[in-house]
Amino acid sequence: MGQLLEDDIARLRRVLHGSALNQVLLKVGDRWTWEILQQAFLGVRRFDDFQTALGIPRQTLSARLRALVADGLLRQELYQEHPPRMAYRLTKMGLALYPRALIAWAWEMRWGKPPANMPRRLRHRTCGHELKPLLICETCGHELRLEDLKREITDPGDVELPKAVRARRWAGGLPTRKELLQQKEVHLPRLLSDRYSMMILVAVSHDCHYFDEIMKVLGLGSSVLAVRLDMLTRFGLLDKLQDRYDGRRFYYRTGAAAQALSMYMLLLSRWGQQYLLKARGTIRVRHLVCGEIVQPAVVCEHCREPVEAYDVERL
């Protein structure tokens, strides 16, 4: 397994930090934010209903709802005047995340440990059949497969890089080291709440395989990186292999579950490109079947119609 040169490491750090996916995770890569959005997709609108469904502290819920309104994913709607009470409804920007939620659901049904309140089966009202979400290329209509995709990278050159992240800065809202080590199975919303776990998977998929390389590319402290690599390895998202030329060293590569998750990341990246980035992102993906830059879309496998939140119900 080849190692990256220092210039390659510096370039990859700029590329990943400037990517649409990183911008999305900075905006909504938080455990409670994702879980609030999931409940909103299921039709929850009122503060007390969010609180009951999630068991979230009221102060934390208030802060996350304010942030989602400020960021344009939710809008407030008065439903009671005395005393004034507000409902929270998804905006167009928020609803555009729904296909990503469907792919996340499908991934968790296959690879994760679905929580008790997650539906096991869904129906597509448009055609009346059980819903199996399918990710396609919007240009040619073919199903997107990992082997048919090719990354095209643009080095932004002047991107502002963050300072190194140390363990003491990871307090509040993120999984603790003890929590990460105690988890027996992967639960996607919990994984998504940890932005750097997601970016570690991206870094490895971009040929950054060694501990010291990943640490430099993502600007992480060694203890922060070590516990996440351990978690991702135990969950089967990464494989840890011994270096054939140096038995004291190990390298990491993505497993089948992480490769499947890359399709979800592709959808998140497109959403970020549409709603968060004003300029072209640093990573584009070309579909080798039609030759165009991928515009991913989620459709019902049975009728091939786009899937919207109001068209889906639990079975």
Structure confidence by residue, pLDDT tens digits, 17-52? 889 998 888 888 777 888 899 889 888 999 999 999
Residue 212: is its pLDDT beyond 60?
yes
Measured torsion, CA atoms of residues 217, 221, 226, 228, in degrees rounded to the nearest 10:
-70
Instruction: Report d(CA 80, CA 63) in Å as an integer.
Output: 21
Residue 54, token pair as written in the block? 């999630």
pLDDT of residue 183: 64
CATH 3.40.30.10 corresponds to the domain 6-314: no
- Residues 123 and 129 sit within 8 Å (Cβ to Cβ): yes
Measured torsion, CA atoms of residues 248, 232, 274, 158, in degrees rounded to the nearest 10:
-30
pLDDT of residue 111: 85
Structure confidence by residue, pLDDT tens digits, 294-308? 999 999 999 999 998
- Residues 64 and 33 sit within 8 Å (Cβ to Cβ): yes
| pTM, two decimal places | 0.85
**What mean pLDDT is predicted for residues 171-195?**
61
Structure confidence by residue, pLDDT tens digits, 242-285? 988 887 899 999 999 898 889 989 999 999 999 988 777 799 99
**What mean pLDDT is predicted for residues 158-173?**
50
Cβ atoms within 10 Å, residue 293: 12
Interacting residues of 311 by C-beta distance below 8 A, sequence separation 6+: 124, 125, 126
pLDDT of residue 63: 93
C-alpha distances in angstroms, 267 versus 21, 27, 118?
9, 15, 21
pLDDT of residue 162: 58
Give me the amino acid identity at 309: A
- Give 213 or 188, the one with higher predicted confidence: 213
Share of the chain above pLDDT 90, in %: 50
Instruction: Report d(CA 300, CA 13) in Å as an integer.
Output: 37
The overall average pLDDT reported for the chain is: 86
pLDDT of residue 30: 77
